[in-house]
Chain A
Amino acid sequence: MAKTAQPVSASQWFLGALSLPRKWRVGPGPIIAAIVLTVIVLSAIFAPYYVPFDPMHMESTKRLQPPGGEYILGTDPFGRDMFSRVVTGGRISLLIGIGAAVISVFFGLLIGLVAGFFRMADAIIMRIMDSLMSIPAILLAIALVSLSGASVGSVIIAITIPEIPRVVRLVRSVVLSAREEPYVEAATALGSSMPKILTKHLMPNTMAPLIVQGTYICASAILIEAILSFLGAGVSTETPTWGNIMAEGRDYFQINPGLIFWPGLMLSLCILSINLIGDTARDLLDPRLKKREA
């Protein structure tokens, strides 16, 4: 693991030495991350146009081919081309990550604003959120996938539901603190309408932490998808995802480690990049941190 960490920090150090204007000084890490992420996303989006084989097509006579030759990364236990599957797999994995992030942020924001602003609703909403949050996310997700059958949609929903309460709590706590700020109190005193206070004063406050939270949800959704597949509650093997490619490869780890290594590398690079970008966003958006830098 240290092996992977070293080059990143070394290059960071190197690039950090090329001093950039202070304002832009986000460090080289996030920039590299953004580039890596862009490459991964583009390679996934355009996968159908350049993959050498149909990622779903099986050849029973060509199972578990070693890498090289006709198949760059070899073939999987169904005799399907690994390279095509790994790059195509990014499409669904990213879709699940982004889907889970967008949906949970959307509903979390909505519910959180209501809970933070209306005391009456708060008690009920928070009890329900507490309940949902108290169930371990993975267990809830497995149960929900079993409930609705394992399609891409149901996996997204199963990942989203346990995430929503976390967003709600975040939004609510920001709103609760902001409500006490003088300018909000002033607006209330001046008789601004509720919706106006909500949209004008409270929502902007929640934006920064939500963006950060969204990136983390995206990253963790991609990981959870892999874990669900590992536990046998993932998307069908007909549709490649990084998670189910790895899950299929688990038994062959010692025979052909590439089956786990390649999708794992893509997945980890992708999550690593998203997390780094999220961290940077948080550092930039957090006023207290910024103050200290100055």
Chain B
Amino acid sequence: MLGYIIRRILAVIPVMLIVAIFVFLMLRLSPGDPAAILAGDSATAAQIEKIRTELGLNDPLHIQFITWMGQLLQGDLGTSLISKTGVVDMIANRINPTINLALMTIIISVLLAVPMGVAAAWRHRTWVDYLVMSFSVLGFSIPVFVIGYIFMAIFALGLGWFPVQGYRAPTEDFFGFLLRAILPSLTLATIYVALIARMTRASMLEVLGEDYIRTARAKGVKENSVLFRHALRNAAVPIMTIIGIGFALLIGGVVVTESVFNIPGIGRLTVDAILARDYPVIQAIILLTAGIYVLINLLIDLSYTLLDPRIRY
């Protein structure tokens, strides 16, 4: 078992290396040229060429890759080709809004979704179940930006409860942060609520069919206690898992939500960087998100082994 864990942790290295190679090649082989955006609209081809040489983009690919890897191993993520700002600074500037938004989304989602899922499983095949399931399917079916616009139209423009856009750091102005973060979090939460409610329902259904639940019920344990003490606790692992996996899903939603509500986060930084072919920034962000994802995945894999002893390595 310990050997397996160590092997799995070591396996992270090739995974990250493959991500690095993949991202590097994908960017270098794609059309588009950061030198051209740097030079602007009326630059001539010769001027762009000079800038490209200066940026080292004319070096052979393997040299560029080795240079990048060398810097990376020294913990240097490089500087933006476009703005000359350090990549670490750029990410540090943008990561707080994204993390805060994501945390808020998860809190809202868990608070809404777990009770919904429990209720649906408890009242399986009744209107409660149908309502929860319809909502969860609906959450998957509407594009995030449409939900964002609808919320904005109703709660910000119509009722005037919230500002239309923007972001405040919670340390600076906590209520300002809450006011501005609620609509984007709710927007993001719709998918997430759908996902968690579903998973809660499914794993609760499974657990509720187990013998020990029947025993508990037969012993006359109160229904509340059966649901929340016995069942939910045993159903918690897959629910936690889906919350973890869903984090990767959140990134996709974040890109769009940040754009709709004008939140200066990682999502917009990434899209801007892709559109500007700002290689060091894209590479760093993708490695970062991939790293986080790999870690979560590692934990999930380990928990699989613990849960199903039939899978042996």
Contacts and interface: CB of A to CB of B under 8 A. Distances in A.
Chains A and B in contact, CB within 8 Å: yes
Interface of A: 1-2, 4-5, 8-9, 12-13, 27, 29, 123, 127-128, 130-139, 142-144, 146-149, 173, 176-177, 180, 219-220, 223, 226-227, 230-232, 243, 246, 250, 253-254, 260, 264, 267-269, 271-272, 275-276, 279, 288-289, 292
A257 to B, nearest CB: 8
Contacts of B43: none
B111 interface: no
Contacts of B275: 146, 232
Nearest to B289: A136
23 contacts: A8-B134, A9-B134, A130-B11, A130-B15, A131-B19, A134-B19, A134-B248, A134-B291, A134-B297, A139-B252, A143-B274, A148-B30, A219-B140, A220-B140, A223-B143, A227-B255, A230-B259, A231-B256, A231-B271, A250-B149, A253-B153, A269-B141, A272-B138
Interface string B83-109: 000000000000000000000000000
B80 to A, nearest CB: 17
Contacts of B32: 146
Given A1-B138, A176-B311, A253-B149, A279 B274 contact: no
Contact of A138 (B11, B22, B142, B252): B252
Contact of B293 (A13, A27, A134): A134
**Residue among B145, B274, B293 with the most chain A CB within 10 A?**
B145
Interface string B111-145: 00000000000000001001101110110111111
Contacts of B141: 219, 223, 267-269, 271-272, 275
Given A127-B14, A131-B290, A246-B146, A180 B310 contact: yes
A13 B294 contact: no
B294 A276 contact: no
Given A227-B256, A279-B133, A292-B209, A146 B138 contact: no
Given A227-B252, A232-B275, 19 more contacts: A8-B130, A12-B130, A13-B130, A29-B134, A128-B18, A134-B291, A135-B22, A143-B27, A143-B30, A146-B30, A146-B31, A146-B275, A148-B30, A227-B145, A231-B255, A243-B143, A246-B145, A253-B153, A272-B141
Interface residues of B, number: 58
Contacts of A288: 206
A135 B23 contact: yes
A6 to B, nearest CB: 8
Contacts, number: 159
Contacts of A1: 135, 138, 142, 190
Name the prevailing secondary structure of the B interface residues: helix
Nearest first, the 10 A-B pairs at minimum CB distance are A138-B252, A134-B290, A131-B18, A147-B30, A271-B141, A136-B251, A134-B293, A272-B141, A9-B130, A5-B134
**Residue among B11, B14, B27, B137 with the most chain A CB within 10 A?**
B137
A292 to B, nearest CB: 5
**Residue among B146, B157, B205 with the most chain A CB within 10 A?**
B146
Interface in B260-276: 270-271, 274-275
A235 B81 CA distance: 29
B251 A139 contact: yes
B289 A143 contact: no
B271 A127 contact: no
A148 B31 CA distance: 8
A131 B138 contact: no
Nearest to B143: A226
A246 B259 CA distance: 15
Contacts of B297: 130, 133-134
A164 to B, nearest CB: 14
B308 interface: yes
A29 B133 CA distance: 11
A63 B35 CA distance: 38
B286 interface: yes
Interface in B45-87: none
Contact of B143 (A13, A128, A230, A289): A230
Contacts of B248: 134, 136-137
Interface in B185-199: 190
B26 interface: yes
Contacts of B137: 272, 275-276, 279
B130 A230 contact: no
**Residue among A27, A147, A149 with the most chain B CB within 10 A?**
A147
A139 B145 contact: no
